[in-house]
Amino acid sequence: MVQPRFPSKEWAEEFCKTLDSSEKYRSAAKGWVHPILFKISDGGQGFILDLKDGRCLGVQWFDDTSRADAPVIISGRLSDWLDVINGKVNPLTALLTRRLRIEKGDLSLILRYSAAAVAMVSAAQRVGVSGQQ
């Protein structure tokens, strides 16, 4: 099976499926009920994951995120997202050093779910970033 390229609609859909099947994520994200918009700031694309109580219920892809909205919005350059997905940078470190920015939402809420953030990166690593630029 060919791995989808990050970022793409196919990658986001595979990420949602992988996340939804992760027991580690399900346990760590119990209680989280906010969709998250992940934006690639230097490409304009992004996706919203519909997240609720450790489940990924669906995904919306945007070729242009200028009108996309969600209760939590996290943005970063493609290279920074790739560094996080490839395990070169911890997701929380990326947020605290502003390599990834919270455009909307509450950092303290995100920090309370730090184990869920780590489990999300684990799921993203299982999807891979085939064909990355």
Give the position of tokens 């690593």: 125
In a domain, 2, yes or no: no
Mean pLDDT for 57-79 is: 97
Domain membership of residue 43 (yes or no) is yes
- The answer to whether residue 119 is domain-embedded is yes
> Scanning the structure block, which residue is given the tokens 């919005």?
73
Q: Which of 1-5, 15-19, 49-53, 75-79 has the lowest mean pLDDT?
A: 1-5
Burial class (CB in 10 A: 0-12, 13-18, 19+), 59: buried
* Domain count for the chain: 1
Listed range (53-57, 77-81, 105-109) with the worst mean pLDDT: 105-109
Query: In whole angstroms, what is the distance from residue 36 CA to residue 5 CA?
Result: 20
Mean pLDDT value across residues 81-97: 94
pLDDT of amino acid 1: 57
Has residue 15 been placed in a domain?
yes
Q: Mention every residue, 6+ apart, whose C-beta is less than 8 A from residue 63.
A: 44, 45
Q: Which domain holds residue 22?
A: 9-125
Predicted confidence at residue 99, as pLDDT, reads 96
Tokens of 45: 């694309």
**Does a cis peptide bond (omega within 30 degrees of 0) precede residue 4?**
no
From 39, 40, 47, select the one nearest 15 (Cα to Cα).
47
Q: What is the mean pLDDT of residues 47-51?
A: 98
pLDDT band at 32 (very low <50, low <70, confident <90, very high): very high
pTM: 0.93
In a domain, 133, yes or no: no
CATH number for position 56? 3.30.1050.10
pLDDT at 4 over 90: no
How many residues make up the chain in this entry?
A: 133
Place of tokens 């939402």: 105
List the single range of 41-45, 53-57, 80-84, 125-129 with lowest mean pLDDT: 125-129
